Chain A
Amino acid sequence: MGNKILLEVRGLTKIFGSRTVVDRLDLRMEEGDIYGFLGTNGSGKTTTIRMITGLVHPDAGEVRIGGFDLKSQFKAAISLVGAIVENPAFYPYLSAYDNLKLTANLLPGVTRKRIDEVLDIAGLADRAKDKVGTFSLGMKQRLGIAGALLNRPKLIILDEPTNGLDPQGMRGIKELIAQLAAEQGISFLISSHLLHEVEQICTKAGVIRKGKLIAEGEIRQLLATGVETVEIVTSEPDKAEQLLRTATEVISISRSQDQLTVQTYGDCSFKLNQLLVTSGVQIRTISRRPQTLEQFFLGITEGDGGP
């Protein structure tokens, strides 16, 4: 994958009435990125996605897709995108194939063969002639992704793609995203409530809080910062706890028999180990439990409610 910038959002702002829903938001995606866009309910995720896809007009800022300005070069910019915003919407009285045919009509160069191809990729080839009204939510999501693939986009934007799906449906969508990214080199911008899923699929993440992007970067870098958990098993838990409480990096300590679970700021398991060893505390095991995306997210959005 190259480092070409695929999506660039600068100073994006949206005000509804007196409320600033998105506040000077900057966001950047490179080709090949799978970007998890995280935020609590009402944080401005969907409004941002609506602005990136042209459904909502920003009050300030700009969106460039593949170098094209969304406002002045709308057709060129949106031609690079496939998107499902909020829920996938289809005409329930038409078949899956007919719905895709209507979409394909609006895209130059999309053939009937391509419609069959995307139905096949989405695993819906055998339901192509069935009316969409009979589809489950998971099948509609798959059909939405099929529709988004029609024009061979460089970027697919998915707003809550696993919302309302059962575990099987979630796994199906997750696998489909991973497959498309790996086999076709498509970049994804995914807003999701499911932090575990994002952690598994995405290479980058951004966290939006009250309309502002408060953290952005590669997931492994984000997880290397912030709070870390260190588990220590020792034959002298009282002494160890006493010593650890003096360390400035330690946030909290919980104890279960001879095991101490220590929350710390940043990567400092080595320091804690050194402190205990030099003080003569016998350590049986010391292990670093990597921070999950959920812990990271909750750490920086504390008090905002669920994702």
Chain B
Amino acid sequence: MIRLIQNELYKTFRLKKLYIFMAVLAVHAWLTVHFYNEGGEWKSVILMPNGQSLPLTLLNSMAQFMTVFIPVYVADLITDEVKTGTLKMSLLRPVRRIEWLNAKIVSLFVFITFLLVFSIAAEYAIGTLAFGWGGQTLYAGSLYTPTEGVWLTLRLTFSMLLPYMACGMIVILIAVLAANISTTIGLSIGMLTAAQYLKAFEHLEPYSIVHQMYFFHEYVHPISGEAASQIIAVIAGYIVVFYLVTAIIVKRKDFIL
């Protein structure tokens, strides 16, 4: 299992797409800073122009990229392997199908974590180069000392792993069922886009995974919030249910490669 994970990570870090995604995140941060310099708050989401506030300022907008990056990555990770037959490199070896699936999920987790780490590092660097590090961190209308700010940035950014992984699990199920890459990407992005319209039903909105991909950090900001626990349970539910359904399908699937 460990070696299977090693293989998956080796392939992930050899993928050009990963570096394109990193470039997109960096360019997005740079453009945000650029537009602030051009026209101030009117042209940008930046309210406090300093390096230490930039990652939290851009946390919401990362979701719009992840709703594309995750389907594209998972399509490559699973559907492409099934379609091109490279899946056989694992399944014709002493590897159980469930181990194969678990290795893919671990790989997705590392992929998301890597992009989150990169986004924090890039945004700190770009923000600091443009505005300097600054004296305080601004988040949700409150000011924090630099140490508190860094801790809050790490805590809230990495909390996003949960909704992103839930999104990933939904996409993995689609990827296992889809016959080709474009179906996986199209269906996943289409479904995630459509899920945004759950905001029309106010009572359902908090349970929409897309809503949580944008705003989960706001729910978990107050550590002991009751709403946060409820939302965490719901997202964990998404992960468990979609994992179990996918595991059953993978176990029973006939691979006509």
Which residues does A use to contact B, with CB under 8 Å?
Answer: 50, 53-57, 74-76, 78-79, 81, 83, 85-87, 89-91, 93-94, 99, 102-103, 105-108, 147
- The reply on B95 being an interface residue by CB < 8 A is yes
Q: Does B89 contact A (CB under 8 A)?
A: yes
Q: Give the residues in chain A near B94, CB-CB below 8 Å.
A: 74-76, 78-79, 106-108
Contact A86 B95 (CB under 8 A): no
Set of chain B residues within 8 Å of A56, measured between Cβ atoms: 254-256
Q: Which residues of chain B have C-beta atoms less than 8 A from A57's C-beta?
A: 252, 254
Q: How large is the interface on B (under 10, 10 to 19, 20 to 34, 35 or more residues)?
A: 20 to 34
What residues on A are CB-neighbors of B147 within 8 Å?
none
CB <8 Å contact, A50 and B255: yes
Binding site for A on B (CB under 8 A): 3-4, 6-7, 10-11, 14, 84-96, 252, 254-257
Q: Are B91's CB and A90's CB within 8 A? A: no
Q: Which of B14, B84, B86, B93 has the most CB of A within 10 A?
A: B93
Q: Min CB distance, B212 to chain A, in Å?
A: 34
A-B contacts, CB under 8 A, total: 73
Contact A85 B254 (CB under 8 A): no
Q: What are 18 A-B pairs with beta-carbon distances under 8 A?
A: A50-B257, A55-B88, A55-B255, A55-B256, A56-B254, A57-B254, A74-B94, A75-B96, A83-B88, A86-B257, A89-B87, A89-B257, A91-B86, A102-B10, A103-B89, A105-B3, A105-B6, A106-B95
A90 to B84, CA, bound (A): 8
Specify which chain A residues have a CB less than 8 angstroms from the CB of B11 in the assembled complex.
91, 94, 102
Given A89-B85, A89-B257, A106-B7, A53 contacting B14 (CB threshold 8 A)? no
Residues of A close to B7: CB separation below 8 A: 102, 105-106
- Complex CA distance for A105 and B93, rounded to whole angstroms: 10
Q: Write out the residue numbers on chain B whose beta carbons fall within 8 Å of the beta carbon of A78.
A: 92-94
